Amino acid sequence: MKVKLNHRLLTVANLVEEEKSIIDVGCDHALLSIYLVQNKHPKKVIASDIKEGPLSHAKENIRKYQVQNQIIVKLGPGIEPIEKDIDTIIISGMGGLNMIGILKYKKDTYQNVDTMILSPNSDVYQVRKEICKLGFYIENEMLVKENHIIYPVIRFQRGKRKYREIDYLYGPILLQKKDSLLVNYMKLEQEKKEKLLSLLPKKYFQKRLQLKKELKMIQKNL
Ligand SMILES: C[S@@+](CC[C@H](N)C(=O)[O-])C[C@H]1O[C@@H](n2cnc3c(N)ncnc32)[C@H](O)[C@@H]1O
């Protein structure tokens, strides 16, 4: 029996290459790990989570789809359950600052990792900026809309690229592609910022200046 993923997790899965050694951090139900085993011929998959509850749910699903021999289930925070031969880290469905916390202070434990696929629920500007500081660049990225919420899915590869502030904010590849969801999102941001600027008293000089700068960046890139 083949597992079915929602649109968001399918977008994450589509960014995973075949025959990789993967850790899915914060796997919860492990549906993504199961899908990868069934469709991407991975060399190895570790499904990990910080909590026992999600892991017992994961184990149930792994039994249901009969992939017990192909997925290693591990309890532990962040990338602590990683093994030396892992080359791909996936983290999705978590806050961006949590993701940064997981990856920033454990650099030495993932020296063999060349790919990270991250889909943060928030703070995507900080995620792009901090992961690039760790020696990765944005190789591909997509936006996916589910239940009226827009999620970014970003594939980072080891290497260096130069980025502008607007790239960290809205995504260099999404901007280049003029992604239709991004355009909608930027227009909404523009409206919000314009409204805020019109309401903000003149004494908040710095904040007004910042808003004007951000509005200029948006206008230039719409
Ligand atoms: C909302 S679920 C997302 C599940 C799945 N990755 C997805 O995208 O649908 C978040 C999961 O991350 C786990 N989690 C949160 N912080 C974590 C951390 N620091 N290390 C490992 N797992 C964590 C939670 O226990 C939860 O099961």
Q: What is the pLDDT of residues 131-172, one digit of tens each?
A: 999 999 999 999 999 998 999 999 999 999 999 999 999 999
Question: What is the number of structural domains in the chain?
Answer: 2
Q: Which domain holds residue 90?
A: 7-161
- The answer on 193 and 135 residing in a single domain is no
Confidence at residue 154, expressed as pLDDT on a 0 to 100 scale: 98
- The answer on 128 and 66 residing in a single domain is yes
* pTM given for the model: 0.94
185 has a pLDDT exceeding 90: no
Please list every protein residue whose CB sits less than 6 Å from any atom of ligand 1. 9, 25-28, 49-51, 54, 77-78, 92-94, 98, 102
Ligand 1 centre distance from Cα of residue 29 (Å): 9
Flag whether 53 is in a domain.
Answer: yes
- The answer on 210 and 136 residing in a single domain is no
Confidence at residue 120, expressed as pLDDT on a 0 to 100 scale: 97
The pick from 50, 100, 105 for probing ligand 1's pocket by mutation, whose C-beta has the most ligand atoms within 8 angstroms, reads 50
Give 182: exposed, middle or buried? Use CB within 10 Å, 0-12, 13-18, 19+: buried
> 67-126: per-residue pLDDT in tens?
999 999 999 999 999 999 999 999 999 999 999 999 999 999 999 999 999 999 999 999
Confidence at residue 222, expressed as pLDDT on a 0 to 100 scale: 87
Ligand 1 centre distance from Cα of residue 180 (Å): 29
Flag whether 23 is in a domain.
Answer: yes
Flag whether 167 is in a domain.
Answer: no
Which of 146, 161, 176 finishes a domain? Answer: 161
202 has a pLDDT exceeding 90: yes
Confidence at residue 70, expressed as pLDDT on a 0 to 100 scale: 98
- The answer on 189 and 150 residing in a single domain is no
Ligand 1 centre distance from Cα of residue 187 (Å): 31
Span 49-70, average pLDDT: 98
Which residue type sits at 34?
Answer: I
- The answer on 63 and 20 residing in a single domain is yes
Of all protein residues, the one whose alpha carbon is nearest to atom 14 of ligand 1 is: 26
Ligand 1 centre distance from Cα of residue 54 (Å): 8
Q: Which of 160, 28, 45, 50 is nearest to 102 (CA)?
A: 50
> Residue 136 belongs to a domain with what CATH number?
3.40.50.150
